[in-house]
Amino acid sequence: MNRVVIVGASAGGLSTAEALRRAGHEGPIALVGEEPEPPYDRPPLSKQLLGGHWDADRLALRSSAELGALELDLRLGVPATGLDQQARSVLLADGREIEYDALVVATGARPRRLPGTAGIVGVHTLRTLRDALALRARLGPGMRLVVVGAGFLGTEVAAAARGLGVRVTLVEPAPVPLAAAVGEQAGRFLTGLHQEHGVELRTGATVTEVLHAGGRVSGVRLADGAGSDVVAADVVLVAIGCTPNTEWLADSGLTVRDGLVCDEYCAAAPGVYGVGDVARWYNPLFAAEMRVEHRTHAGEQATAVARELAGTGERRPFAPVPYFWSDQYDTRVQAHGRLRGHDEARVLDSDPARRRLLVVYRTGDRITGVLAAGLPPRMLRGWRALVAARTPWRAALAGPSAA
């Protein structure tokens, strides 16, 4: 292996380049990014940046000097448009081609949009720095924000907006927000935080139309089991999930199925690897394909792929316990493991007044996940260890100290 091309210049792509250098790779590394900005951190977009606590400069993952020390062929603002595996080359939007000996696909994902909203002023999605700055510029005291989709992104934006004095309505088709991701009990706990802070919740409702006057958003029309009505809005945020950026891989011969399909070593083909939100890889710890859209995971997967590329030591399947966190007002929620698709979610501790929650998740006959708020870090690490050890459910319920 000599020349490595990494397509995607966010956290996963940059982390891969850094891990390669740490592993002793001295050959050329090209880092190709669609956005013109140098690599920056995305989680603060919906938290510190949107809430006005940070300026954009604080999001930079590395300084100019640190990037320079990596000696990268940095190509920003130029997305990849095609891949020729036989020629081992990536086609860029500016018409140039870049050849590789090894390729890392780290192109992330993009927000889904509501049909018929293109060009309407005041309708936003949130994925990039420019998205966050545009949304923040429209939020202020007394403004009316409708958030379509009460997942983690939508609820984080709702929390940040309330801190700015914005009037917020959360619209969610499910009866309990976040229930699909973390179960009904945890979903109700998190929903309660928003109700305490004055967020209006419209559950069991779908948006049938985004209304506008003179090209500027004025509200949304909702439908539920009782009929339809209109919620006025100055700003609408659409937070209904993401689609992996794999279009540029069409006709490449790689398998794409809700992401780039990879094996347990994160390889999609000989010499081609996936990292981050775009990668659907086989996780042997859970015996399942997974695609994880979380910052910590991208860094861990980047390190694993760099180890594969460097060929140092014995090959090891990438079998992590995925981790994510979410800040909701003054409460940080943390989770380890695979929560979706569980057979049971059991609440072991719940005290909303003290912002404390502990839920463990069962799939089959073993513990596969844990979600907590207000739990000491040492205890949370203990629950994570039970997940990593494939601990049987009955033994896990006794807690980390007993198991």
Residues 97-126 have pLDDT tens digits of 999 999 999 999 999 999 999 999 999 999
Residues 370-403 have pLDDT tens digits of 999 998 888 899 999 999 999 999 999 998 865 4
Tell me which residue of 59, 72, 88, 3 sits closest to 33, measured CA to CA: 72
Share of the chain above pLDDT 70, in %: 99
8 A C-beta contact, residue 290 and residue 280: yes
What stretch of H or E contains 229?
strand 227-232
Going by pLDDT thresholds of 50, 70 and 90, the confidence category of residue 226 is low
Angstrom CA distances, 69 to 12, 62, 73, 290, stand at: 18, 10, 12, 34
What residue ranges define each of the domains in the chain, with the CATH number in brackets?
Answer: 4-110+243-310 (3.50.50.60), 113-238 (3.50.50.60), 330-397 (3.30.390.30)
Q: Scan for tokens 């309990």, then name that residue.
A: 176
Dist. CA 35–CA 77, nearest whole Å: 5
Residues 237-276 have pLDDT tens digits of 999 999 999 999 999 999 999 999 999 999 999 999 999 9
Residue 1 has pLDDT above 80, yes or no: no
Residues 158-184 have pLDDT tens digits of 999 999 999 999 999 999 999 988 999
Q: What is the pTM of this model?
A: 0.95
Dist. CA 129–CA 144, nearest whole Å: 22
- E strand spans, 53-178: 72-76, 80-84, 89-92, 97-99, 102-105, 109-111, 123-124, 144-148, 167-172
Position 403 scores a pLDDT of: 46
Please name every residue paired with 325 in a beta bridge, in sequence order, or none if there are none: 334
8 A C-beta contact, residue 102 and residue 88: no
Residues 281-312 have pLDDT tens digits of 999 999 999 999 999 999 999 999 999 999 87
SS3 of residue 228 by DSSP: strand
